[in-house]
Each structure stands twice: as structure tokens, then as C-alpha cells.
Amino acid sequence: MDWRVFAQEMASMARDLLAQDSVETTLERITSSATRLVEGCDAAGVLLLHGTRVESLAATHDLVVQSDRLQERLEEGPCFDAARAGSGSGAQDRVFRIADVTAEQTRWPAYAAGAGDLGLGSMMGFLLYTEDEEFGALNLYAKRPGSFSQDSETAGWLLASHAAVAVSSARSHAQMEQAMATRHTIGEAMGILMGSHNLSEKQAFDVLRRYSQEKNVKLREVARLVCEKGGLA
């Protein structure tokens, strides 16, 4: 692997990632880059784990989704384990690798057999995490056994670490935008109540808060209802 070229590509990807306008497009940029930057990688995707339910994101090939579904059904596999490893694990527990699915008989025998039937030869899973949270796993697949070298694993690690920071930034930006939109909606709803019922700012907010508590509805949804209907029934 030409690490100079790899470093240049990573720098270019860093600039592109910062320009993405959503978490989804960020993930798509990450997985498409993985197939281009990591030697031996034929397909890539991000797996999120909700309990034992799997969510597949930004898959570059249908094989990725099929593999995720197989791991969900069996509750085993390198990507499944990477996603649930947790950032408190040691570094050796944050990457899972199958060099040859036909020879994997110890860790994930049922999954390895099914992966072979799908046409997969080798794979790696990297936990996506920062100090504060885990996002899931970046998973790389190859159709040929033995496709991933130590250099491939190192490159995958670098990409996964970079991707985790990028996803964290994208999610924080999305959360900030949602918070600002919610604040605007609540302010607009308070203005409607103040004008229609001659209430003070505090009284209008208390009306929204009480309705939210009594109806067990989120405050932002109550505010949206007021904005759409001009008041509360």
C-alpha cells in the first residue's frame, strides 16, 4: 500500500466529509471511500445495533445488507460483535476479522457458513466510537478469501477512527439544528397563546408545559400543534 497516496486521499476525504449536509451522506461518503482506499475491500457498510436488532446504513452492495441480516438472525458475527463491543473494551476487541470464511470454525461457525453461501470470502468489522459514545461498526467485505492484509487492517482502523469523529460531528450538527428548530417552534407557539389569550410569556410557557405533562406529549409536539391549529383544544 502506498501510504503517501492513502494520506492524501484521507486528507481529501476529511474536507469532503466536513462539507456533507447530513449523517446519511456522511456515512455514504465513508463507505464509498472504504472500497476505494482499503486494499481488498469489495463492499462496505455501517451496522447499528439496537439490542439484537440490526440496522444497515450506507451499504455499497446488497451483500452488506444480506450479511447484516444473517448476523441479526444468528446473533453472531464479526460486525455484530464489533458493534456491541463498547468503547470500554480493549483495542484488540474493537476490530474483528475473518481471513477466510471457509476456515472459520471457532468464533462464528454458523455465520461463517452462511457468509460463504452469500459469496463472501473475508471481512473485517471496526467499532466506531469516540470518548463519549459508540455509533456501531464500519464493516469491510471481500469476495475472495485472504483479501485483507495487515496493511488493510491498519488502513481500516485509520478510516474507522476518522469516520467516528466525522459522524459524531455530523450528529452534533443535526442535533443542534433540531434544537434550534424546536426552540423557534416553541417561541412561535408561545406568541400565539400570548396574543390570543392575553398571557404573559411565563403563563404561555406554563400552558404548553402543563398540556405536555397532562397529555404525555413532547413539548415540541405541543408547540407544533399550536402553530398548526392556532391554539389548544
DSSP assignments along 174-190, one per residue: HHHHHHHHHHHHHHHHH
Residue 87: pLDDT band with limits 50, 70, 90: very low
Comma-separated ranges of CATH 3.30.450.40 domains in the chain? 3-171
- Sorted by sequence, the CB contacts under 8 Å of residue 107 that are 6+ apart come out as 78
pLDDT at 162: 80
What would the mean pLDDT of 8-20 be, rounded to a whole number?
77
Place of cell 475491500: 41
Digit-coded pLDDT (tens) for 17-56: 767 667 778 888 889 989 988 999 999 999 887 777 888 9
pLDDT above 70: percentage of residues in the chain = 88
Cell reading at 74: 444468528
Stretch among 62-66, 88-92, 207-211 having the lowest mean pLDDT: 88-92
pLDDT at 85: 65
CATH number of 3-171: 3.30.450.40
Cα 230 to its chain centre, rounded Å, is 38
Rounded to 10°, the helix 219-229/150-197 angle is 50
Mean pLDDT for the chain overall? 84
Comma-separated ranges of CATH 1.10.10.10 domains in the chain? 175-229
Place of cell 478469501: 145
CATH 1.10.10.10 fits 175-229, yes or no: yes
Cα 16 to its chain centre, rounded Å, is 18
Q: Is the model's pLDDT at 134 over the cut of 70?
A: no
What gap in Å lies between CA 97 and CA 79, rounded to an integer? Answer: 9
What would the mean pLDDT of 203-207 be, rounded to a whole number?
88
Digit-coded pLDDT (tens) for 145-160: 999 999 999 999 888 8
